[in-house]
């Protein structure tokens, strides 16, 4: 199982998923209509490291975080 966290305005509680890689996570999150709009806009981190591709392999206990775009001044 991997833990998926949603930061900021996404407003979702963390969930646990069975996933071998980020493609599996994305496929599962696409099933949630509320999350679909965020998936193309968010940065993704695995264990606090930003990743640029869904070809990242995951292992038991990994933490995936969706980071929505923010603005500030």
Where are the chain's structural domains? 2-67
Measured distance CA(58)–CA(27) in Å, rounded: 14
Average pLDDT over every residue of 44-69? 96
Which residue bears the tokens 């999150």? Answer: 29
pTM for the complete prediction? Answer: 0.90
Average pLDDT over every residue of 64-73? 80
Average pLDDT over every residue of 19-36? 95
Side-chain half-sphere exposure of 71, counting CA atoms within 13 A: 0
Cβ-contact 9, 68 below 8 angstroms: yes
Measured distance CA(68)–CA(30) in Å, rounded: 16
C-alpha distance from residue 73 to each of 9, 66, 70 (Å): 18, 22, 10
Residue 15 reports pLDDT greater than 80? yes
Give the fold, CATH level 3, of 2-67: Ubiquitin-like (UB roll) (3.10.20)
């Amino acid at each position: 199982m991997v833990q998926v966290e949603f930061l900021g305005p996404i407003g979702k509680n963390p969930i646990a998923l069975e996933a071998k890689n980020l493609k599996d996570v994305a496929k599962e999150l696409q099933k949630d209509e509320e999350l679909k709009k965020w998936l193309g806009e968010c940065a993704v981190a695995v264990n606090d490291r930003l990743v640029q591709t869904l070809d990242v392999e995951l292992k038991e206990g990994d933490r995936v975080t969706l980071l929505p775009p923010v603005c500030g001044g």
